[in-house]
Amino acid sequence: MKIGFIGLGNMGGPMAANLAKAGHDVVGFDMADVAIEGVALVGSGAEAAKNADVVITMLPNGQILRAVANEVIPAMNTGAALVDCSTVDVESAKAVAQQAEDAGLLSVDAPVSGGIGGAAGGTLTFMAGGSAEAFAKAEPLFDIMGQKAVHCGAAGAGQSAKICNNMILGVTMIATCEAFALADKLGLDRQKMFDVVSTSSGYSWTMNAYCPAPGVGPQSPADNDYQPGFASELMLKDLRLSQQAAESANADTPMGEIASKLYAQFVENEDGLGKDFSAMLPRFEKRGRP
Ligand code: NAD
């Protein structure tokens, strides 16, 4: 397949490289100066999209996605597919899907979970929204870049699934960190805390797979001085997207709202910017009751 890949950053770069390694003809564009193994670079998004069977975007946010879509959609051939793997707001995802459909294209919103390691290893999970035909066209590429792809429903459903998942992630990380800080103050050994909770009803991905306490549980960013991993500002971005969606859908999400406020405080008023989102633990350690 001829693939145009736009946005070759931490995630997009290795994803594009994996498609090229699998034998696809990949033409890429990024605003920044990048070099990706096996990917031929061109000077604009429109050029990357020209004659492509599938155009994949992996961009920072919905505003940038909309700008790129305005440029790329008119350059694509009828029947080609636009697959956006960025994490963006549900409204932007739906607007771009409509624009693509109006232009005679297939479109899929397909955000991912699995981080930079998953992108490099080809083990991402894709959560996709769009027609069955569009999903079927993108699925062989998801199989190369990832280990699982779930067709969640119509346009926007992939982004809806992603922000619900990440709202749970933000809330459980905070709960895990505040529980560790409480355990510390109660004089509990951290390893014992892990041994109990990781095999009891308080277990979660944040405790068992991504433990925020250094030296406890499997290797995680906590063991590397909280270098990301998944940066706190990206967690904040996703929590804000879930609150934006909750507001427009009239859903009551109080825990998501508190998580969003705590990450905003951490990133904007404290020292969280650039640190992994599990650095909430040292933040809580330093504090007493407000
Ligand atoms: P990144 O900042 O490393 O990459 C984004 C790339 O887009 C950059 O290289 C940038 O130069 C490029 N870009 C920006 N505007 C552009 C434009 N107009 N035209 C062409 N290129 C442009 O970010 P990332 O970590 O690769 O994340 C990309 C997306 O994936 C985000 O939406 C993020 O929320 C999501 N995501 C990231 C992770 C993660 O762990 N990093 C995990 C899951 C999802």
CATH number, domain with residue 195: 1.10.1040.10
Q: At 46, which amino acid appears?
A: A
- Would you give the distance in Å from CA 129 to the centre of its chain? 15
Q: Which two tokens stand for residue 289?
A: 């009751």
CA 68 to ligand 1: nearest atom? 18
3-state SS assignment for residue 145: helix
Active-site annotation holds for 237: no
Ligand 1 binding site (Cβ under 6 Å of any ligand atom):
6-12, 29-32, 45, 58-60, 64, 68, 86-87, 112, 115-116, 230, 234
Q: What's the mean pLDDT in 15-28?
A: 98
- Domain shared by 31 and 51, yes or no: yes
* 180/282 Cα distance (integer angstroms): 10
**Which residue's CA lies nearest to atom 29 of ligand 1?**
86
- Domain shared by 165 and 71, yes or no: no
Phi, psi of 60 (to 5 degrees): -65, -40
pLDDT in tens, 229-270: 889 999 999 999 999 999 999 999 999 999 999 999 999 999
- Residue 123 Cα, ligand 1 centroid: separation in angstroms? 18
The answer for residues whose C-beta is within 8 angstroms of residue 135's C-beta and 6 or more apart is: 108, 128, 149, 151
Q: Is the ipTM of this complex over 0.90?
A: yes
pLDDT in tens, 138-151: 999 999 999 999 99
* 24/99 Cα distance (integer angstroms): 27
- Domain shared by 121 and 175, yes or no: no
Domain termination site, one of 154, 185, 212: 154
Range of the domain at 166: 160-286
- DSSP tag of 44: S
- Domain shared by 148 and 181, yes or no: no
Whether residue 41 contacts residue 62, with contact meaning beta carbons closer than 8 Å, is answered with no
- Residue 86 Cα, ligand 1 centroid: separation in angstroms? 7
